């Protein structure tokens, strides 16, 4: 218990100079409101550009349905990035978990339906893969970007093996096949699922020892460890949570697609990382949060949706996310440039 | 609390990247010197012997030709990746760059004929240089930046190809000779790649440019204090990676005569990194043996063949690559006590 109190002592009282603190806090508020303004400007511009198609209830549902996937992944990714680590395994985990879910549900390949067990098994696959990444990182001391890069392909391999050589497995139960787009209180199920995950993520980040420890590790791992933060345990738990989020996203993606696919996560990785970074979470760790990521996801989804409605080719969608990612990390790093700063 | 603080030695540097010299005492992995000198070749020879024992067909006929043909594009991409890893960064966009390079070549072959490959290499050098300039001058993490350029390049090849396959319809003979058998019955392109590796080795070991690149990789702060133009050296490394991706693109057109966004070459990223790492390149930077990378690429090309010979289904290929990358880094990683690894 003393560990926890010392951590909060480190986190809450004033950092060295109150001047610096005031600057940082003001800066944070400014950036956060900047994103809200950007979102409002985008909404206004696209409404004017596409009268009658953009600002409609149907399109709002489409946007929220599209935002669901990056929102779910983004919660896990934010916690990982807050620690100063990175999880590149998202698309592999989504493939493996999505495939598990489809094959254990009623599908066109036959075989019996396992009901809720399919969901449990899919999530378990994600948790296990997250655990694998974490253990490779903490036990073998492999940097997370390499560990999770390897695990990305391990996940894809698992998905390919599960897929086997038979035809594409489609959901045969129509109630499952259209679950994601069915409405509850006027909004799609997928969005409610994502909203629940975001709220959970917010609570974990703000009120639990795990969330606090993640912030502390990202801010300065050495100081955090000296103050009793259990670095290895926190990292393992955060990566397991991130694996679970990716697995849930894999299940959701297969529900949206109505079928199983090894590559159903393609493109999710840099969409999510772009969203986390433009939300204002620092890639160096220690600053940011789940709420900012949710804002970043909405910003990117509205941008992509609005561009496509305005007649821009969907082919450039990944360029939009990529360019926004580049712009966001450059803008975030710009004030910290120094001739002697070492960034790998 | 006291036990926590004593486990972290007060002498370790505060910078996140531990100085390699300080880690010698506490490391548990293989010594990098030994691995670099003999490891990659030994791994390849052992793996090749196992495969040959299980499947003698690989020794005769088209076996070696297939192996080196498979290894060529991987080797080219891996050499570029090794240069970037050598200065302590990583390039996640090089496979997407190779595909775009193949498309540029396919489109340029008609109007430009023999000049088209040169134009392709120039364009891809520019793409690499943009990566390098952004990494060096805006000081952003290279994995995040090149993830962004990966998205941009993917979209570029979708737009260039209009989401279909681009065929090199005219002047195919400009590049088609690259996979004709030459010396020792192996394809010309493979020998080209080996020559590039040897030249790269000479540059690293024998020129001031190579020494400067090594200095940046081993200790960037010290390199700055020594008056090296560290930023331009990074730009040079990324540009080289771009040129090598362009060369891999030329190989794709020479082999297939066509390119598409999800076709040949789009899955080169992890094999390229794996080849560089198995070839003895340290992800921390400053330790690279381009000749080792040749064996790394051959090993990577051999892995699916060995896996099949061992009875593992070829579908498990990406799984095997993933495990190999992690194992290669884990075996050579520094394990200094108290050091912070993100």
Put simply, the answer to whether A143 touches B319 (Cβ < 8 Å) is no
- Is residue B19's pLDDT more than 70? no
Per-residue pLDDT, B340:
65
CB spacing of A326 vs B152 below 8 angstroms: yes
For the cut 90, the answer to whether the pLDDT of residue A121 exceeds it is yes
What's the rounded Cα separation, in Å, for the pair B142 and B125? 17
Q: Average pLDDT, stretch B298-323?
A: 83
pLDDT of residue B237: 95
Q: How many alpha carbons lie under 13 Å from residue A59 in its C-beta half-sphere?
A: 19
- Domain positions in chain B: 27-332
Interchain proximity A322–B139, CB inside 8 Å: no
pLDDT category of residue A151 using cuts at 50, 70 and 90: very high
pLDDT exceeds cutoff 60 at A6: no
Contact B330 A142 (CB under 8 A): yes
Q: Which residues partner with B167 through β-bridges?
A: B258
Buried b / exposed e along A91-119 (16+ C-beta atoms within 10 A): bbbbbbbbbbbbbbbbbeeeeeeeeeebb
Find the residue in B nearest to A331 (Cα).
B138
Q: What is the pLDDT of residues A37-93, one digit of tens each?
A: 888 888 888 888 888 888 888 888 889 998 999 999 999 999 999 998 999 999 999
pLDDT at residue A12, rounded to an integer: 40
Q: What angle do CA A150, A155, A159 make, to 5 degrees?
A: 150
Q: Are A147 and A242 in contact (CB under 8 A)?
A: no
pLDDT of B298 above 70: yes
Calpha distance B158→B260 (Å, rounded):
8
Q: Do B342 and A322 touch (CB under 8 A)?
A: no
Q: In whole numbers, what is the pLDDT of chain B averaged over residues?
A: 82
**d(CA A185, nearest CA chain B) in Å:** 36
- Does residue B23 register a pLDDT over 90? no
The percent of residues in chain B predicted with pLDDT above 90, rounded, is 34
pLDDT above 90 (res B179): no
Tokens 């996640």: give the residue.
B92
Tell whether the model's pLDDT for residue A8 goes beyond 50: no
Do A116 and A104 form a contact (C-beta atoms < 8 A)? no
Q: Does A152 contact chain B (CB < 8 Å)?
A: yes
Mean pLDDT confidence for B215-236: 91
Q: Where are the domains of chain A?
A: 32-45+52-308+315-329
Compute the average pLDDT of residues A87-101.
93
Residue B333, pLDDT score: 63
From B145's Cα to the closest Cα of chain A, the distance in A is 6
- Give one word for B267, left, alpha or beta, with left for phi > 0 and alpha for psi -120 to 50: alpha
A2/B1 Cβ within 8 A? yes
Check residue A19 and give its pLDDT.
43
Residues B44-86 pLDDT 10s: 888 888 888 888 777 776 778 888 888 999 999 999 999 999 9
What is the pLDDT at residue A18? 43
Alpha-carbon distance of A126 to B275, in angstroms, equals 28
Nearest Cα residue to A245 out of A57, A71, A59 = A71
> What would the mean pLDDT of A125-148 be, rounded to a whole number?
92
How many angstroms separate the CA atoms of B102 and B246, rounded?
7
* Calpha distance B128→B100 (Å, rounded): 12
> Which chain A residues are Cβ-neighbours of B221 within 8 angstroms?
340, 342
CATH architecture of the region A32-45+52-308+315-329: Orthogonal Bundle (1.10)
CA distance A294 to A281: 11
Q: Residue B337: what pLDDT?
A: 54
Distance CA A318, CA A315 (A): 7
Chain A hits for B134, Cβ within 8 Å: 326, 330
Give the per-residue pLDDT at A51.
Answer: 83
Position with higher pLDDT, A106 vs A11: A106
Q: What is the mean pLDDT of residues B262-278?
A: 83
| Residue whose structure tokens are 């992800």 | B283
If pLDDT is split at 50, 70 and 90, which confidence band does B339 have? Answer: low
d(CA A219, CA B290): 37
- 3-state DSSP call for residue B259? strand
Per-residue pLDDT at B336 = 55
Cβ contacts of A264 within 8 Å, gap of 6 or more: A94, A95, A98, A250, A253, A254, A257
Within 8 A of B155 by CB-CB distance, chain A residues are 315-320, 322
The predicted structure's pLDDT at residue A27: 44
Q: What is the rounded distance in angstroms from the CA atom of residue B214 to the CA atom of residue B44?
A: 26
Decide if B330 touches A, using CB distance below 8 A: yes
- What is the rounded CA–CA span in Å between residue B341 and residue A142? 7
* pLDDT at residue B332 in the model: 67
**pLDDT band at residue B11, thresholds of 50, 70 and 90?**
very low
pLDDT band at A11 (very low <50, low <70, confident <90, very high): very low
Give the C-alpha separation, B180 to A142, whole Å.
Answer: 41
Residue partners of A323: CB distance under 8 A and separation at least 6:
B148, B151, B152
Q: State whether A141 and B313 contact (CB < 8 Å).
A: no
pLDDT digits (tens, 9 = 90+) for A175-229: 777 787 778 787 888 899 999 999 999 999 989 999 999 999 988 888 988 888 8
pLDDT at res. A4: 38
**Do the chains contact at B154 and A142, CB–CB below 8 Å?**
no
pLDDT per position as a tens digit, A250-305: 999 999 888 888 888 888 887 898 889 888 888 888 888 899 999 999 988 998 88
Q: Do A343 and B139 touch (CB under 8 A)?
A: yes
Asked if the model's pLDDT at residue B209 lies above 50, the reply is yes
Q: A308 near B186, Cβ under 8 Å?
A: no
Indicate whether B24 pLDDT > 80.
Answer: no
**DSSP code of residue A187:** E
Cβ atoms A104, A118 nearer than 8 A: yes
Residue A344: band (very low, low, confident or very high) from pLDDT cuts 50, 70, 90? low
pLDDT digit string (tens) for B91-137? 989 999 999 999 999 888 878 878 888 999 999 999 999 999 999 99
Closest to B332 in 3D by CA, of B294, B276, B290, B291: B276
H helix runs in chain B, sequence order: 2-7, 32-54, 63-86, 94-112, 116-138, 142-161, 173-176, 188-206, 208-218, 220-225, 230-256, 269-278, 290-309, 317-332
Question: Can you give the pLDDT at residue B82?
Answer: 95
Range A167-203 burial, b when 16+ CB lie within 10 A, else e? eebebeeeebbebbeeeeeeebbbbebbbebbeebbe
Q: Measured between alpha carbons, how far is residue A87 from residues A26, A77, A78, A83, A225 in Å?
A: 30, 7, 10, 11, 22
Class of domain B27-332: mainly alpha
Q: What is the ipTM of this complex?
A: 0.78
Å between A183 CA and nearest CA of chain B: 32
């Amino acid at each position: 218990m003393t560990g926890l109190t010392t951590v909060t002592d480190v986190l809450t009282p004033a950092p060295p100079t109150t001047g610096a603190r005031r600057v940082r806090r003001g800066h944070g508020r400014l950036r956060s409101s900047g994103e809200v303004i950007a979102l409002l400007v985008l909404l206004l511009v696209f409404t004017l550009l596409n009268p009658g198609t953009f600002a409609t209830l149907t399109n709002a549902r489409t946007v929220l349905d599209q935002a669901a996937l990056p929102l779910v992944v983004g919660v896990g990714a934010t916690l990982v990035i807050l620690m100063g680590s990175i999880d590149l395994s998202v698309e592999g985990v989504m493939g493996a978990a999505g495939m598990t879910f489809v094959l254990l549900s009623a599908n066109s390949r036959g075989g019996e339906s396992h009901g809720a067990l399919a969901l449990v098994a899919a999530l378990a696959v994600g948790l296990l893969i997250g655990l694998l990444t974490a253990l490779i990182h903490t036990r073998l001391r492999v940097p997370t970007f390499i560990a999770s890069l390897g695990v990305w392909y391990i996940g894809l391999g698992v998905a390919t093996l599960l897929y086997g050589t038979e035809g594409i497995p489609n959901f045969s139960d129509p109630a499952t096949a259209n679950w994601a787009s069915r409405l509850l209180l006027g909004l799609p199920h997928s969005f409610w699922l994502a909203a629940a995950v975001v709220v959970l993520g917010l609570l974990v980040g703000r009120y639990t020892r795990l969330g606090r420890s993640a912030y502390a590790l990202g801010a300065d791992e050495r100081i955090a460890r000296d103050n009793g933060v259990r670095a290895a345990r926190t990292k393992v738990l955060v990566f397991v949570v991130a694996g679970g989020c990716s697995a849930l996203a894999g299940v959701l993606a297969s529900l949206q697609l109505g079928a199983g696919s090894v590559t159903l996560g393609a493109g999710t990785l840099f969409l999510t990382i772009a969203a986390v970074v433009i939300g204002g979470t620092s890639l160096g760790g220690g600053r940011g949060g789940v709420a900012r990521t949710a804002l970043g996801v909405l910003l990117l989804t509205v941008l992509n949706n609005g561009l496509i409605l305005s007649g821009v080719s969907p082919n450039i969608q990944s360029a939009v996310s990529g360019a926004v990612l580049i712009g966001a990390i450059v803008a975030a790093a710009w004030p910290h440039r120094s001739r002697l700063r070492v960034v790998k | 609390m006291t036990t926590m603080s004593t486990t972290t030695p007060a002498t370790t540097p505060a910078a996140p990247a531990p100085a390699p010299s300080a880690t010698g005492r506490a490391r548990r992995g293989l010594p990098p010197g030994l691995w670099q000198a003999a490891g990659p070749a030994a791994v390849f020879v052992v793996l090749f012997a196992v495969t040959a024992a299980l499947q003698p067909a690989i020794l005769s006929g088209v076996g070696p030709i297939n192996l080196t043909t498979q290894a060529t594009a991987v080797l080219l991409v891996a050499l570029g990746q090794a240069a970037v890893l050598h200065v302590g960064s990583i390039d996640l966009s090089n496979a997407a760059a190779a595909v775009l390079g193949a498309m540029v070549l396919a489109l340029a072959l008609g109007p430009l004929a023999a000049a088209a490959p040169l134009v392709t290499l120039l364009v891809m050098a520019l793409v690499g240089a943009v990566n390098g300039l952004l990494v060096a001058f805006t000081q952003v993490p290279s994995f995040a930046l090149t993830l962004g350029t990966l998205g941009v390049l993917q979209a570029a090849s979708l737009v260039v190809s209009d989401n279909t396959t681009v065929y090199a319809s005219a002047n195919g003979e400009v590049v088609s000779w690259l996979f004709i058998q030459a010396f020792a019955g192996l394809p010309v392109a493979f020998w080209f790649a080996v020559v590039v590796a040897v030249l790269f080795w000479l540059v690293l070991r024998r020129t001031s440019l190579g020494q400067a690149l090594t200095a940046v990789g081993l200790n960037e702060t010290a390199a700055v204090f020594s008056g090296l133009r560290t930023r331009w050296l990074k730009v040079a490394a990324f540009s080289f990676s771009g040129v090598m991706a362009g060369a891999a693109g030329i190989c794709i057109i020479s082999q297939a005569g066509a390119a598409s966004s999800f076709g040949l070459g789009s899955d080169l990223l992890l094999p390229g990194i794996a080849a560089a790492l198995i070839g003895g390149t340290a992800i921390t930077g400053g330790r690279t043996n381009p000749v080792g990378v040749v064996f790394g690429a051959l090993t990577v090309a051999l892995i699916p063949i060995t896996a099949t010979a061992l009875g593992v289904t070829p579908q498990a290929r990406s799984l095997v690559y993933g495990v190999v990358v992690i194992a290669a880094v884990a075996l050579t990683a520094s394990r200094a006590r108290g050091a912070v690894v993100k």
